[in-house]
A and B are shown apart, each in its own frame.
Chain A
Amino acid sequence: MSVPDVQARWSRRINTVSLGAKPAEGGTRGSTVTVGGAEGIPFLDIDGATPFAPAIALDVLDVPPQGWPDPLAEVYSDVWSDPAAWAERAKSLGADLINLRLAGTHPDEGDRSATEAVATVRAVLEAVDLPLIVWGCEVPAKDQEVMPAVAEAAQGEKCLLGAATETDYRTLAAAAQGYGHKLIALSPCDINKAKQVNILISDAGFPLEDIVIYPTTAALGYGMEYVYSILERGRLAALSGDRLMAQPVILDVGYEAWRTKEARVGDEAAGLWGPAWEAVTAGALLQGGADLLVMRHPQAVAAVRQLIAELVADAAVAAT
């Protein structure tokens, strides 16, 4: 009796999105990162190839962070008042990309102007030659002022700009498209909204192939399984042919993991718990289909790098 053929046959693969542009492509980056391209369920070789290993971006803020716990302060506090120096630190810790948050533009967190934000973006672009992810402050009115200026200043660098939402997507999509950037589509832990945001952005004329989905993130013990099931359902829909769900996924692991009670305990265990919580959260979410992880602690990054290497031994290294 022959062994039945149980291999899944998928009708679509996940889109690939290339971030960063080298001089030949009109940018100034020394490396680029390609995410996505999975042809089957994550890391299941018989199902389909994983041509690009998941990439890791490290957080950099435009202003010194409020309330980051000691294990992170030990790594970054000497550079965190200078985003350019912080970005250099992130690169030296092995980041594939820099994840720049313009937190200081928030009206209640310093209300930095578009001009100041642009200066920060320029300084980071000059300090390191990695591809750049840039987030606004998630106050739509302010982001609509800041992000078009940022997009223009970084023209040609193929940055990833965030985040477009169901209610606020037109300005950011237009800025990203006008200046040659890619777009993060944010949906609040809701797979139907994830699809809806993509429909809206696409309907506004922005290419589906230039979108990275951000289905929000939750840490281990704080609803991670809910995000996991959303990732999995979205990935299965995409592989089954849904081109509105075929975008690679970015997850904000560091932010969520370091908000947990366990990562913030004030005792000597904190140095272990925090990185462990971040690494375990990232490792679990990778299995659901995460293509781009935003992280914070170098020990967690090292653990996740090792895991990725074991899972995708034959995939291309994300950064080229």
Chain B
Amino acid sequence: MIIFAERINGMYRDVRSAIAERDTAVIHRLAQEQLAGGADVLDLNVGPSKGNAVENFLWLAETVHAITDKPLSVDSAKADLLVEVVPRVKEALPSTKLVINSCTAAPQYMNKLIPLAAASGAAIIGLTMDQEGVPGDVERRIECGATFLMTALAAGIPIEDIYLDPIILPVNAAPKQQIHAVEAIRHLAMVHDPPPRFIVGLSNVSQKCLNNRLLNRTFLVMCLAAGLDAAIVDAADRDLVEAMITAEILLGRQLYSDEYVKAWRMQKGLPSEAQAAEV
């Protein structure tokens, strides 16, 4: 599974103040933690931080890029902001793969962001919702997802750069929506061969819940079984990552061996637990 690291987000107080004070050390430490946990892509979100959002994004991207060549995901719900930010980040870091996170299936979003992805060689995450809001069922999710997928393909975006996000809502506020998202993945995987990639913003499922980490990893395993390819998670949550590794073994996506957790770290070129402990 492709791990998008969620931690560099202005919704967290430490990130917000680091952005305000241009404190690179805080961002570097968080990024290192996520990379050590196995992050493949670093999701960047300036959140409600003070100052110019475009400049804040640029600073975050350059700060993170200083310690890693991994792809960066530019995360905002504001299409106009993404339209400004993505070309600036692309210009500053021309060799870095970008992911636009995210776009809905509403025409006013797709018209802006899909051409932007095509022009900048970025991957793009499409939410299975449109101008009418988040669907309350599976069918509308499929409809929105298919609309986004076909529009992105028609714009020339390669299938491996198209992610669909079936929208995860908190279990305490919107029960049944979790299984709707799982079913949407299962169905949308059959819309195109090869299928697009599926991603979830995992921690939404447990927002304001007591057992949030247990909920997160349990739901991640359910999504993986339906065909999930990527998730925005806290890569430093070891229990979560190990549940994910185990699910991939049980789903036959990876070859079993007795030391499969260690094998996963080796595959990623991460130091072994023993080596990591010495540092």
Give A contacts to B, CB under 8 Å.
191-196, 199-200, 202-203, 233-234, 237, 241-245
Contacts and interface: CB of A to CB of B under 8 A. Distances in A.
B266 interface: yes
B255 A237 contact: yes
B111 interface: no
Given A243-B266, A243-B267, A244-B266, A199 B259 contact: yes
A167 B135 CA distance: 56
A199 B262 contact: yes
Nearest to B258: A196
8 contacts: A192-B256, A192-B258, A195-B255, A196-B257, A242-B255, A243-B267, A244-B263, A244-B267
Contacts, number: 40
A57 to B, nearest CB: 27
A196 B267 CA distance: 13
B257 A192 contact: yes
Nearest to B264: A244
Contacts of A242: 254-255, 267
Contacts of B266: 199, 202-203, 243-244
A242 B249 CA distance: 12
| Majority SS at the chain A contact face | helix
Given A243-B267, A244-B266, A200 B259 contact: yes
Contacts of B262: 199, 203
Nearest to B262: A199
Nearest to A238: B255
Top 7 closest pairs, chain A to chain B, by CB: A195-B257, A196-B257, A237-B255, A199-B259, A192-B256, A192-B257, A196-B258
Contacts of A237: 254-255
B272 interface: yes
Nearest to A166: B258
Given A196-B257, A233-B255, A242-B254, 13 more contacts: A192-B255, A192-B257, A195-B256, A195-B257, A195-B263, A199-B257, A199-B262, A202-B266, A203-B262, A203-B266, A203-B272, A237-B255, A243-B266
Nearest to B193: A4
A54 B70 CA distance: 37
Contacts of A200: 259
B3 to A, nearest CB: 15
The interface centre, meaning the residue of B255, B256, B267, B272 with most chain A CB atoms within 10 A of its CB, is: B255
Nearest to B259: A199
Nearest to B269: A243
Contacts of B259: 196, 199-200
A144 to B, nearest CB: 23
Contacts of A199: 257, 259, 262-263, 266
Nearest to B160: A9
A245 B272 contact: no
Contacts of B254: 237, 242
Instruction: Please indicate which of the listed interface residues A193, A199, A237, A245 has the most CB atoms of chain B within 10 Å of its own CB.
Output: A199
A202 B270 CA distance: 13
Contacts of A196: 257-259
A166 to B, nearest CB: 9
A245 B258 contact: no
A170 to B, nearest CB: 16
A241 B267 CA distance: 9
Contacts of A203: 262, 266, 272
Contacts of A191: 255
A231 to B, nearest CB: 13
A191 B257 CA distance: 8
A318 B262 CA distance: 35
Interface in B243-277: 254-259, 262-263, 266-267, 272
